[in-house]
Amino acid sequence: MNFEPLQVPDVILFTPRRHEDARGFFSETYRADVFGDCGLEAYRFVQDNHVYSTERGVLRGLHFQLPPRSQGKLVRCTRGAIFDVAVDIRSGSPTYGRHVGVELSAANWKQLWIPPGFAHGYVTVEKHCEVIYKVTDYYAPESDRGIAWDDPALAIDWPLSKTDIILSEKDRKQPRLSEISPAFHFAI
What's residue 39's pLDDT?
85
What pLDDT band is residue 35 in, cutting at 50, 70 and 90? confident
122-173 pLDDT, tens per residue? 999 999 999 999 999 999 999 999 999 999 999 999 999 999 999 999 999 9
Which domain covers residue 136, as residue numbers? 2-185
CATH number of the domain at 68, please: 2.60.120.10
What's residue 83's pLDDT?
98
What pLDDT band is residue 3 in, cutting at 50, 70 and 90? confident
Alpha carbon distances (Å) from 164 to 53, 59, 125, 130:
14, 10, 10, 19
User: At residue 77, does pLDDT exceed 80?
Assistant: yes
User: At residue 1, does pLDDT exceed 90?
Assistant: no
User: At residue 38, does pLDDT exceed 90?
Assistant: no
Cis before 141? omega within 30: no
Least confidently predicted of 26-30, 67-71, 112-116, 157-161? 26-30
Question: In this structure, what are the phi and psi dihedrals at residue 178, rounded to the nearest 5 degrees?
Answer: -65, -15
What's residue 41's pLDDT?
87
Q: Are 68 and 147 in contact (CB under 8 A)?
A: no
Average pLDDT over residues 58-84: 98
What's residue 186's pLDDT?
94
Say how far apart CA 184 and CA 178 lie, in whole Å.
14
Q: Are 138 and 46 in contact (CB under 8 A)?
A: yes
Cis before 6? omega within 30: no
What's residue 115's pLDDT?
97
Least confidently predicted of 1-15, 69-83, 151-165? 1-15
Nearest CA among 40, 37, 51 for reference residue 10: 40
As for how many domains the chain has, the answer is 1
Annotated active-site positions, please?
63, 133
Which is more confidently placed, 102 or 188?
A: 102
What's residue 188's pLDDT?
72
Please give the sequence-ordered ranges of beta strands (E in DSSP) within the chain, or none if there are none.
Answer: 2-5, 12-15, 18-21, 24-27, 47-53, 59-65, 73-79, 81-88, 90-91, 99-105, 111-114, 118-124, 129-135, 144-146, 184-185
What's residue 81's pLDDT?
98
| Rg of the chain taking only CA atoms, in angstroms | 16
